[in-house]
Structure formats: structure tokens, C-alpha cells
Structure 1
Amino acid sequence: MTDMPDKLATAPNSKTPSGAASPVSSVVSRKPNEPGFSTIRLVAGENSEELNDLCKELLDFLKPRNVIERILISDFIHNEWELRRVRKFGSSAIPAARPWSVSRLNGHKDERFCDSPLPKGSYQAGIAGLEAKGYPLEDIDAFSALSFASALESFDKRASSLELRRNAALAALEDRRAQSALAERTIDATADEERPTMSMRDGE
């Protein structure tokens, strides 16, 4: 069995004490001479230790036996990590859209967003003003969900695509192993059938 690394991700120099990546994207690199594994770039808020744990658990469980299996496991890791990222972004999308909702509810057109509360430095006052008018933060976020429904739907579509690709990588790995096991059983069965014939010839 080919020796595999315990860690595929190297801690970036810009990592915070908690293990999260700094606002500047950091790179998770594979060690040299390890075919089949490519780099994963972390973005702000992602944790290199979480990625390392994911890689280690998958390697310990799946135990790749050759470069093809390492490539398939690498595909699985990339798609699983991207899926987690998309789900996180999807949950953050509504709060991220809040400044535009506050702008619209305060009467500003999208093309004049520069005149809205956030660019003007009065964002909290803009929210407070809406709440004073009976429009609480929950309603602002609901307005965001309605206003950006098509954009939010794209996160679900991306997640579904990543799930299919992740599952396909695992299925390909399992199919290869099943075919290999079948070939080995066929060879063993053929060898068992030939042994009695050879014994009879020896007796003659």
C-alpha cells in the first residue's frame, strides 16, 4: 500500500489562532511527489484544520491504493469542501443582501446605491429608522429573500451539482474496486479449476 500523508493541508502563515484563514485568501498545498492531490485555496472564514481533518478522515477510511484512487478521492474532497462552502455562503447571502434592502426600503434606487445609508455611513441609523416605522430586521431579511430569490436559488443549484459530482467520484472509486475484486476472484477460480487437471496429469 502506498504511504499517504496524515495532512494534505499546510497551515498558512496568515492563519489566525483559531485556525481560520485571514481575510486574504490562503493556499492549502499538497506535499511534493504526491500525485493525485491538487491544491485547495481557502477563503476568509474557512479553517485549515477542518480541511486537514476532512482529508485525514477520508484517507484513513478509503485508503487509496494507487494514483487513480487518489485522484478520485481528491475529486471527492474538492467537491465536498466546495459544497460546505456553498452552503455556508447560502446561509450568509440574506444578511449580505441587507444593505441593498435597507437602501431600497429607504427609497434609494439600485443605480444610486452610493446615496444609500451604507456608503453614507448611516447604515445602523437606516435600520433603526425602518424599525421605528414598524419594519423590524426580520422583515428586512424577508424582503432580501424575496428580492434576491433567483440569486439564492443559484446556491441550491450549485449545491445539487456538487453533490452529484462528489457522489460520482465515490461511485467511480467503488466501481473500480468492485471490478478489481471480481477480476481477482475470477483469476482465483480459474486457478482452482486448473489444479485438479494438473494433478491428474501428474498421476498419469
Structure 2
Amino acid sequence: MSRSDQGAQLARIYEPRLLPSESQAHFEMMRDALVAELKPRCVIEEMWVGEIVHGEWEMRRLRGFKDLIVTSARGLALKNLLSIVLNASGAADIDDLAERSVTNKAVRNQVTNILRKHRMSEASIDAEAFRHCLFELGEINRRLAELSSRRDKSLQLLEDYRAGLARPRHPAEGTAVMTSGDDGD
């Protein structure tokens, strides 16, 4: 078995459990690209590469979750904006208007016109949804920073390990040994 095959084999050990919405093919493509780039040469390097693979997949997952979280908050955001511009009159009517705007084109046009009258747009809905999700997005960003730091540390450990393998193991190895009476001439 070649080293790259061994690296891919070990990286599979660190394969995260994929969620139903995630693609096994995308994971394997990312894993194989990382293994090909880093070319682990021993089991220690393979462990670091496995950690890097796992962390990169989690980062990819979390970045996708950020978009989904904001998108899922759009309904609440629209209700809030409509409450503001319609002076919170008829909360049930506002809820109905916001919900029907998702499936009914005429209602969607009506909502768009209401927002335009108040100098708002689809981007206003996105901004309000984002505002509602700031805490959750902050937590994800903290986790992304942790994972990025771990990846960078693993890459540095890999680099240091490889540099250590290139150096002589004992200080006397690779240097001329002077004997008594020899002045180096």
C-alpha cells in the first residue's frame, strides 16, 4: 500500500459522521485533496492529517449552517418589519401576511410594496434576520476560530516534525569530530 493510500485510509478513521444533508463525495474529495497536498509519511503525520481533515469538514459544515440559520430567521424578521411599519396593528393579520407572502405571489408583491413605501427591501429582511441570529452566529464564529487555530497548530506541528526528521538526531552526527592535537587545519 502506498503512503498516500495509507494516509487516505487513516483519514477515513477520522471521518466525521456525515449529516443526511451532507455529501459523502464532497467529503472524500476534500479529504483526498488534503491527503494529496500534505502527503503524510508516517503514522504521526497521518494522525495530524486526520485531525486537519476532521476540522476542515466541521468548518465547512458550520459555514453552511450560518447561511441556513439566517435564512430560517427570515419569517420572523419579516413579521418584525411589518409590525414596525404597520404600527403593530393586527398582529394576527401581520403573521398571516408574512406567512402567505412565502407561497402567494400577489401577497408577496403586496409585502414588497409595503416595505418599499418605508424604504426597505429584501435586504432589509436579511439584515433583520441577521440581527436576530447574532448570538448564534457569534458562537459559530468562535468555534470556527478554534478550529482554524487547531488546524494551524497541526500544520505547524507537521512542519516542525518534518524539519526535525531532516536534522541529525545527535549533536555529534553530521559534524566533524576534533581529536586532541588537531587544530582543524
Q: Same fold (TM over 0.5)?
A: yes
Q: What is the CA distance between 1:73 and its match in structure 2?
A: 0.5
Q: Distance in 1 between matches of 2:23 and 2:12?
A: 22
Deviates more, 1:95-104 or 1:156-165: 95-104
User: Would the aligned equivalents of 1:36 and 1:71 in 2 still touch at CA under 8 Å?
Assistant: no
Deviation at 1:168, TM superposition (A): 0.8
Q: Deviations over 1:131-154 (max 9, x none)?
A: 231353221111112222222222
> Following the alignment from structure 1 to structure 2, what is the Cα–Cα distance between the partners of residues 65 and 6?
9
Q: Is the 8 A contact 1:35 1:70 kept in 2?
A: yes
Question: Does the 8 Å contact 2:7/2:40 carry over to 1?
Answer: no
Which residue of structure 2 lines up, in the alignment, with residue 13 of structure 1? none
Instruction: Name the counterpart of 1:181.
Output: 166
Task: Give unpaired runs (5+ residues) of structure 2.
Answer: 84-90, 180-185
1:33-182 mapped onto 2 (5 Å cutoff): 34=10, 37-107=13-83, 116-117=95-96, 122=100, 124=102, 125=104, 128-133=109-114, 134=116, 135-182=120-167
Contact 1:79/1:162 (<8 A) preserved? yes
1:165 deviates by 0.8
Task: Name the SS for the 2:167 alignment partner.
Answer: helix
| Alpha-carbon distance between aligned partners in 2 of 1:87 and 1:185, rounded to the nearest angstrom | 46
Which sections of structure 1, spanning at least 5 residues, go unmatched? 9-30, 198-204
Q: Is the 8 A contact 1:35 1:67 kept in 2?
A: no
Aligned-pair CA distance for 1:164? 0.4
Q: 1:117 to 1:73 in 2, by over 3 A?
A: farther
Deviation at 1:38, TM superposition (A): 2.0
CA contact (8 A) 2:59 2:144 kept: yes
**Bigger shift: 41-50 or 81-90?**
41-50
Indicate the RMSD between aligned Cα atoms, in angstroms. 3.6
- Render the CA deviation track for 1:48-92: whole Å, top value 9, x for unaligned: 222222222222222212221111101111111111222222233
* Residues 68 and 188 of structure 1, relative CA distance in 2, 3 Å threshold: same
Separation in structure 2 between the aligned mates of residue 7 and residue 67 of structure 1, nearest angstrom: 8
Q: Which residue in 2 is equivalent to 1:5?
A: 5
Question: Which whole-Å CA distance do the structure 1 matches of 2:139 and 2:11 have between them?
Answer: 33
What letter is aligned with 1:104?
Answer: N
Instruction: Kindly tell me the number of residue pairs found equivalent between the two proteins.
Output: 165
Q: Which residue of 2 aligns with 1:12?
A: none
Structure number with the bigger relative contact order (C-alpha 8 A, sep ≥ 6) is: 2
Distance (Å, rounded) in 2 between the aligned partners of 1:145 and 1:88 = 14
Q: Residue 65 and residue 146 in structure 1: after superposition, are their counterparts in 2 closer, same or farther (change >3 A)?
A: same
Aligned sequence identity (%): 25
